[in-house]
Amino acid sequence: MKDSETKNVLFGIDLTSAETKPSACLGLDGKLQLVYLGFLTRDSDIIDITDFYSPKVIAIDAPLSLPLGLCCLERDCPCQPKFAREKRQCDQELRQQGIPCYPTTKRTFIKPLIYRGIRLKNKLCQKGFEVIEVYPYGSKVRLFGKDMPRKTTPQGIAFLKEHLRNLLPSLNPYLDILNHDACDAAIATYTAFLHCQNMADAVGNVEEGLIFLPHSN
């Protein structure tokens, strides 16, 4: 790979809630050619691979911030959300657009994922990487429309692969081995690419946290 292309590598991570479960990671160069595909368990493994490729942007599929006013998600902590909406503004804006998303309140059932996402983001930012939060389901709604079969069904994975075939042709030789997690990592990476091309929208606010999505059609 040429140095100019190396500098434009983008990474997408479909993060899992625990280091015991592999996270799909996918890297594309500036011409949307595949440079990396793997399933990594530990945060240190993810950091090592990003250190190796030095991506321009790392897009993580996980909440990377808390609602303003919260220092944690523990119910016995006295911290309280600053606003009556409780959830983050970006989550609220997604729901207003008809895109359901996981809650980021103290009642959330994805607390381990949120904690891991924030921890990993902080480590990567300390190394100087640009890290953005993405939501592949929301990206797919923007790219393919709302009429999608569930990604965990045979019809759903076939749907994703068929659309990836056209969206990212460099993945075609590997489509047979991609599961829905790897497909989501690919969508995350593509969203990072659109962000770099000024072809993505940011919902939410900078102080509390942004989620990046492809421009609406």
Burial 102-118 (b: 16+ CB within 10 A, else e): ebbebeeebbebbbbbb
What is the gyration radius of the CA atoms in the chain, in angstroms? Answer: 17
| Three-class SS state of 66 | coil
- β 23-28/10-14 pair status: antiparallel
Partner residues linked to 26 by β-bridges: 12, 37
The segment(s) of the chain belonging to CATH 3.30.420.10 are: 3-63+111-201
CA distance 211 to 199: 14
Q: Is 117 left (phi over 0), alpha (psi -120 to 50) or beta?
A: alpha
Q: Which CATH number fits domain 3-63+111-201: 3.30.70.20, 3.30.420.10, 1.10.287.110, 3.40.50.2000?
A: 3.30.420.10
- Residue 216: predicted pLDDT: 80
- Residue 7: predicted pLDDT: 61
Q: What are phi and psi of 43, to 5 degrees?
A: -60, -35
pLDDT by residue for the chain (217 residues), tens only, comes to: 444 345 689 999 999 999 999 999 999 999 999 999 999 999 999 999 999 999 999 999 999 999 999 999 999 999 999 999 999 999 999 999 999 998 899 999 999 999 999 999 999 999 999 999 999 999 999 999 999 998 989 999 999 999 999 999 999 999 999 999 999 999 999 999 999 999 999 999 999 999 999 998 6
Burial of 183 (0-12, 13-18, 19+ CB in 10 A): buried
Q: What are phi and psi of 130, to 5 degrees?
A: -85, 120
